[in-house]
Structure 1
Amino acid sequence: MSEPSPLPAESRESYGFELPLLLFAGFRSIIDELHADLARQGHPDARPAHGFALQAVGRGGATASEVGRRLGISKQAAGKTVDRLLQLGYVERADDPSDARRKLVRLTPHGVDLLARSAEVFERVRGDWMAALGAERVRAMEADLRRMVPQAFFRLDVAGWLGG
């Protein structure tokens, strides 16, 4: 394996391993800023995995098994995630009107508030990136990423995929 160049990154070609690390670092910086903002706005216990889980629950609700399948995690892990979201007041369990044997997990107003505030923060952060980099560069970066990412790019199973 060759040694990285002592030249500044701007004056040399990047190494292949840097691209995924830079993409992940950009993702991480946005998510860290999101959660710092959410903490100030009344959601201090929200974690990145909670956002994926609340999306998996969805507006119509879901069973814990469905949440697990959508997240790519085991039924047991989904049950623990749902229990934590219940403790935090983001979801509630309710009878399924179509099947009395099933329990649905549904978003509470607190959970809906978390998702709405998250969307607002994401818009603000995107605006900050546009102010720093230029709107055209950010739009071009988004277009390029859409071109390179598979069609079904929005996947909820990131936590399960990262966890192995």
Structure 2
Amino acid sequence: MSSDPPGFELPLRLLMGFRVLIDELHAELARQGHPELRPMHGFVMQAVGHGTTAVELGRTLGVSKQAAGKTIETLERAGYVERAVDPADTRRKLVRLTPRGIDALGRSARIFDTLRRRWADELGEDRLRALEADLRKVTPADLFRLDTPGWFGTL
């Protein structure tokens, strides 16, 4: 009998590490004035970037145009994105981040830095750097793989 943990534990531990960080991020974002944001919203706002359409957003996220549109509506009602006519093509509607959306992303970046420092304090900076280096070896170089929501799919 092997003393190695079962193979299924690795992806679950990685997922739980992700979940712990994301849950802590959203708890702090709520304390800082962004209680309505959900994990999916971070992917969406990153994908919106400097402006995109619902079709392009859906393609980037790996979801339907309708799913992207519903999320855009939610974020628009909460003041994180706005729709505007594309100056290059007046038939197209661009989705852009509002100052509130930009603020949320900036706060997220700072909170992630704080969370990383906490992990470094818990594990040791050298061990955390080694973990990050090892994960870089076994994962694709494209750090912002925004199609994760579509990859999870629906039931």
Q: TM over 0.5, yes or no?
A: yes
Q: Corresponding residue for 1:49?
A: 40
Mapped partners of 1:98, 1:14: distance in 2: 56
Normalised by the length of structure 1, the TM-score is 0.91
Q: Corresponding residue for 1:159?
A: 149
Number of residue-to-residue matches in the alignment: 154
Q: Corresponding residue for 1:65?
A: 55
CA RMSD of aligned residues (A): 1.3
Mapped partners of 2:23, 2:149: distance in 1: 16
**2:7 maps to amino acid:** G
Unaligned runs of 5+ in 1: 6-11
Mapped partners of 2:66, 2:86: distance in 1: 20
Residue aligned with 2:146, SS? coil
Residue aligned with 2:69, SS? helix
Cα drift, residue 141 of structure 1: 0.3
Q: Corresponding residue for 2:14?
A: 23
Which of 87, 91, 99 aligns to 1:97? It is 87
Q: Give me the identity figure in percent.
A: 62
Cα drift, residue 151 of structure 1: 2.4
Unaligned runs of 5+ in 2: none
Cα drift, residue 107 of structure 1: 0.3
Deviations 1:19-48 (A, max 9, x none): 000000000000000000000000000000
Moved over 6 A (4+): none
Cα drift, residue 14 of structure 1: 1.0
Residue aligned with 1:61, SS? coil
Cα drift, residue 142 of structure 1: 0.3
Mapped partners of 1:119, 1:62: distance in 2: 22
Find out whether 1:38 has 2:29 as its counterpart.
Answer: yes
Q: Corresponding residue for 1:8?
A: none
Residue aligned with 1:101, SS? strand
Cα drift, residue 154 of structure 1: 2.4
Cα drift, residue 150 of structure 1: 1.8
Residue aligned with 1:43, SS? coil
**1:38 maps to amino acid:** L
Q: Corresponding residue for 2:111?
A: 121
Which of 110, 121, 125 aligns to 1:131? It is 121
